[in-house]
Chain A
Amino acid sequence: MTALLEVEDLRVAYGKIEAVKGISFTVDAGEVVTLIGTNGAGKTTTLRTLSGLLKPVGGQIRFRGKSLKKTPAHQIVSLGLAHSPEGRHIFPRMTIEDNLRLGAFLRSDRPGIEKDIQRAYDLFPILGERRKQAAGTLSGGEQQMLAMGRALMSQPKLLMLDEPSMGLSPIMMQKIMATIAELKSQGTTILLVEQNAQAALSLADQGHVMETGNIVLSGSGQTLLHDESVRKAYLGED
């Protein structure tokens, strides 16, 4: 069986500056795969390219066996690849419910949408309590929940989360990570980009360490978590 997502020698550049210099990895259905690395390693660029917001200069992306290189962003979503962008990007002046509905923009099955909105409220009860409130009035962590709930509304085959723990308090971060674990146990395939290597690796089946546009180390989450160089570089241990 081929992998759900195959990335082969992917190269992305901003003008002349190459941000991603030929990386390859795969994501299998039901897996949680994480990309970790410091600022500027090319993690977010990789995700933005996968979701069609940026165009690669070389390499190959295949999602469910289909090449994504020339597919525009809105069609990639309809193929089942959802992106919860870095910095949340919720619609602050729309209500929480309208935000979720926009996540289901490409769907037309009303009962299914209503069911999934309810599912998002079950997953994040705080969103249900405030469904008629403007999303901008939520706290940072709640906005992250909304961004994740919204990405799930398109019924993705693969959910890409870009730094869901960014700027959150430790307690809120634990909550978000617990939700990711719950989604994993429900069988959702997730590609997780994180700076918080500890939390990401302990969840992940597979991990890749990125440095200045290259993958420098790959392995299972547990292996990397105990890897000497990773511990030194990312987990703050000498």
Chain B
Amino acid sequence: MTTDPTAQTIVGATAGPPDHDPAGDDAGASIWRVAARRLRRNPGAIIGAVIVLVFLAVALLAPVLAQYDPQALPGRTEIRPTFIPGPSDAYPLGLDRYGGDLLSKLIWGARASLLIGVLSTLLGLAGGALLGLLAGAFGGWVDTVTMRLVDLMLSVPSLLLAVSIAAVIGQSPNAVVIAIGVVQVPIFARLLRGSMLAQRDQDYVLAATSLGLSRRTVVMSHIVPNSVGPVIVQATLMLATAVIEAAALSFLGLGGGSPITAEWGRMLTAAQNELEVAPRLALWPGACIAITALGFTLFGEALREALDPKTRKR
């Protein structure tokens, strides 16, 4: 099968978005065009996209936007055991317990939290897509073994699984990325497999097979491009979960680093003891996590609706 020259080119093509499919799959392209048009008309999608873009911009431009370095403690001398200075001209959102500038730390925190969220989702997507593809393309015992493994992973609630994985790897941001990524693998695997199975019995697949195309070509250039929709939707929604779970793991201390680390979950841990003195130290990072998650969720839900043929006529 690997000697088939067409199969080689088509395998490469699947790396790009399906609407650029060189196989000329018009139906596939129009789904995405229609979806884009429907997204533009959906206020939820626009709000979600704006939130996500703002936070992405903040994360990317953190070195420019933040007045201080993430580890800097410019107001160290102004901190008293019972008093933490609030907003002032020098520190727009006030200081934290250690004398760090809250605004600067929130900005750097956006970079840390989004990076963890995006990397872990990419990891989960890659692992899940690989397993799902194996199961969906080969069926038989490959499918059975893969899906039993997936069931096993899903038999433990995801946050607990992530906690135990991160605990074993050791307390560091990398551990958090790996833990949250691994936890997502079974979800993506099951989704892609289910989606591929639904396509397998479609007439166009029968047509492609009867034209004598190899199984690899049928799977890679026909079944897969038509199965990725739900996976992309899930990935968008997963970004919200990943940001929240990353914060949860950091909150439990699995993200490592010192208490002054500029990461939203970690900042919440530090704020825990200051609730009576300076509640804003908890409010700001918490609100950042919630708003980022809201952005991804709104956009993901809108994307799901836009790609769903059942709601297409509305």
- A-B complex is real: no
